[in-house]
Amino acid sequence: MPDRDCSGHDWRRMMYKAPVDEIAFTLRYVTGIGDVLGRGRYSDFGDELVSAILEEAGRFASERIAALGDIGDRQGARLVDGEVRTPDGWKETYRAWAEGGWNALAAPEAYGGQGLPHQLLVATLEMWNGGSMAFAIGPTLTIGAIEALEAHAASEIREKYLPKLVSGEWTGSMNLTEPGAGSDLSDMKTRAERRPDGTYRIFGQKIFITYGEHDLTENIIHLVLARLPDAPPGSKGISLFLVPKFLVNDDGSLGARNDLHCHALEHKLGIHASPTCTMIYGDGRFGSEKGAVGYLVGEENRGLACMFTMMNNARLAVGMQGVAVAEAATQKALAYARERRQGRVPGWAGPGMSPIVEHPDVARMLLTMKALTAGARAITYACAHAVDMARIETDENRRFWQERASLLTPVAKSFATDVGVEVTSLGVQVHGGMGYIEETGAARLFRDARIAPIYEGTNGIQAIDLVTRKLPLSDGVPIRALISELAEVAAKVPAEQRFGATAARIEAAIAALEAATTWLLDAQANGRTAEALAGATVYQRQLGLTLTGIYLAKAGLAETADGGRAALARFFAENLLPETAALGDSIVHGAGSLAAARSLLAGD
């Protein structure tokens, strides 16, 4: 197909460019990376290093990774004779990325990592995903595996596997889901058998395993959940095992092929270049003795707790996918709207038709995209800031930040990925008919974005977690402390023209959020859990929108020159933030109508 439409627009030029300045501003002035630099484990790191890392990461993402997006979407991952082949250029780009030390950015220094703040890791994850979501999800899983093994594995396992995972020479994967066990793992069938030498043999099938097989590295380290023969029933009887694709000798060299393989690849709506594998363990394909050799991570029957370390890491990383794909869609839509000419807006004095960016409805969509993207970015970075603070603080201060991170994680994952879908959908709309055509790339971003609210715990599960586990933490102290901080920011917003009615709108949103929070806590305290759950997803959005309003206002306050941040905060506050009042009403009064209408869903 031609690269241009009848108007002469060159869609190929509209490639993602990492928003380094916006990322740096958010880190410094909105979420506070300066709070951790020069302190504790981050005592050797300063602002100059932050700038250097962001600039170099932005260059690599814009020049190397972004070039993979369309190629990966067209070619996809392919299964050839039981081996997965990635698209053209992916292997070379991955190797250059790993050699650049990016996989080791926040990894422990004891195993070759750089030990940098989690906020910097999250910022670079945004850039990698902005270039190609299908590329970046592989390293994301490796980073999570490193964290899980560092926290729970025996020293001999850490010494043998972590250095090459940290360097990126090997990658990691997460094996939870089975055909009959998805979000609820209590019916897991994959089994493990003890061997006299202290190892285990793993038998079973796992599905939806991202980067379970590929050609980017010489070895893949699988973290696999399985059940021992004498394990208690349900999720309390699950253990975690490290199962390498190739066994590793004592000197670190690779040994025999382990008894595991990729049986099939899924054909997906998006992220085509990311291999989503059906993995078979222990069918004897690569040797006479059946059973994939595995090594226990943590304690028997306590594997789910170990895996949650990796899952919590992955949930924040998936939130970053939502931010990244929203940013890419916004860039593409804005570039198109500035060039595409159609109709004449009232008062247009230029030659011919006006650029569609001048039309009020298109401007509204674009500003909505920019505001939601900026808000989602700030929420995810704030969650990473809490993780960093918990690592350098002590005693009660550490507990405060641990609970803040726990509170923000489900919001960061869910709100940001919902934003990814909403913003990429608007991106297609801004392009009009050309957005529905694959040649522009707008449709690919929409397709890629759709998985993020589903995997690593659906957004509905995140809402359940938020309302039933995170709100009641320490009798509601963490959520009330957060609301109090939001009110402090709102009180600083001046009643002047550039902010318009921002202060009043934010104060109203905070009041609605506080009322909904009180109602949800009271409902659970009095045994009305079903009523609370009916409003959980709604509350999740209400909190995300309120946080967005606050963070946009904070950015406007921090800007010394008029760069438009106050105007964006005002647009959001006056056009989108009023939704929080309606959401609050739905939380408090919606459960009854939901229960009454359930009969409409019954089968024959």
The span from the CA of 123 to the CA of 53, in Å, is 10
H/E/C letters for each residue in 330-393?
HHHHHHHHHHCECCCCCCCCCCCCCEHHHCHHHHHHHHHHHHHHHHHHHHHHHHHHHHHHHHHC
Q: Which of 150, 327, 456, 531 is catalytic?
A: 456
Longest dimension (CA), the chain: 84
Residue the block writes with tokens 């209590």:
186
Q: Which residue has the tokens 């102290």?
A: 477
The C-alpha atoms of residue 456 and residue 462 are separated, in whole angstroms, by 9
Q: How far is CA 561 from CA 336, 429, 553, in A?
A: 28, 33, 15
- Residue 103 near residue 168 (C-beta atoms within 8 A): yes
The answer to whether the beta carbons of residues 208 and 279 sit under 8 Å apart is no
Distance CA 353, CA 271 (A): 37
Beta bridge partners of 10: 4
Q: Report the phi/psi class of residue 595: left, alpha or beta, with left for phi > 0 and alpha for psi in -120 to 50.
A: alpha
Helix (H) or strand (E) holding 84: strand 83-85
Is residue 456 part of the annotated active site? The answer reads: yes
Residue 167, both tokens: 């360097």
CA distances to 54, 122, 183, 392, 453 from 385, rounded to whole Å, are: 16, 10, 28, 11, 23
Q: Which of 60, 45, 33, 20 is nearest to 116 (CA)?
A: 45
457 torsion bin: left (phi>0), alpha (psi -120 to 50), beta (else): left
Which residues carry out catalysis?
456
